[in-house]
Amino acid sequence: MGRLVTGVRAWIDERFDLAGIKALAQKKRVPVHRYSYWYFLGGMTLFLFGLQVLTGALLLLYYRPGADEAFESVQFIMTQVQFGWLVRSVHSWSANLLIFMAFAHLFSVLFLKAYRKPRELTWVSGILLLFLMLGFGFSGYLLPWNTLSYFATKVGTEIPAQIPIVGRPILLFLRGGEEVTGSTLTRFYGLHVAIFPALATLLIGLHLALIQWFGMSVPPSVEARWRARPQEKKGVRFFPNFVLRELMAWYVALGLLGRWRHSSHGAWASRPIRSPRLLRVSNPSGTSCSCSRR
Cis peptide before 118 (omega within 30 of 0): yes
Q: Does 161 contact another protein by CB under 8 A?
A: no
Smallest gap from residue 190 Cβ to another protein (A): 24
Which residue in the set 104, 206, 216, 236 belongs to the binding site for another protein (CB under 8 A)?
236
Q: Does 215 contact another protein by CB under 8 A?
A: no
Q: Does 265 contact another protein by CB under 8 A?
A: no
Which residue in the set 241, 249, 276, 278 belongs to the binding site for another protein (CB under 8 A)?
241
Which residue spans within 5-54 are E strands per DSSP?
A: 29-31
Cβ atoms 177, 283 nearer than 8 A? no
Q: Does 75 contact another protein by CB under 8 A?
A: no
Q: Does 231 contact another protein by CB under 8 A?
A: no
Q: Does 133 contact another protein by CB under 8 A?
A: no
Q: Does 262 contact another protein by CB under 8 A?
A: no
Cβ atoms 136, 95 nearer than 8 A? yes
Would you tell me how many other CB atoms lie within 10 Å of the CB of residue 207? Answer: 21
**Residue whose CB is less far from another protein, 58 or 106:** 58
Which residue in the set 251, 277, 285, 294 belongs to the binding site for another protein (CB under 8 A)?
251
* Of residues 86-105, those binding another protein (CB under 8 A): 86-87
Radius of gyration of the chain (CA): 23
Q: Does 259 contact another protein by CB under 8 A?
A: no
Q: Does 84 contact another protein by CB under 8 A?
A: yes
Q: Does 243 contact another protein by CB under 8 A?
A: no
Smallest gap from residue 84 Cβ to another protein (A): 6
* Half-sphere exposure at residue 122, Cβ-oriented, CA atoms within 13 angstroms: 22
Smallest gap from residue 30 Cβ to another protein (A): 8
Smallest gap from residue 80 Cβ to another protein (A): 4
Sorted by sequence, the CB contacts under 8 Å of residue 28 that are 6+ apart come out as: 212, 215, 237, 238, 239
**Residue whose CB is less far from another protein, 70 or 78:** 78
Q: Does 61 contact another protein by CB under 8 A?
A: yes
Each as own residue / partner, the long-range contacts of residues 81-88 (CB below 8 Å, 24 or more positions apart, any chain) are 85/265, 85/269, 86/261, 87/55, 87/58, 87/59, 88/55, 88/59
Cβ atoms 60, 70 nearer than 8 A? no
Sorted by sequence, the CB contacts under 8 Å of residue 92 that are 6+ apart come out as: 268
Instruction: Write out the residues near another protein by the rule CB under 8 A.
Output: 32, 36-37, 58, 61, 76, 80-84, 86-87, 234-236, 241, 244-245, 251
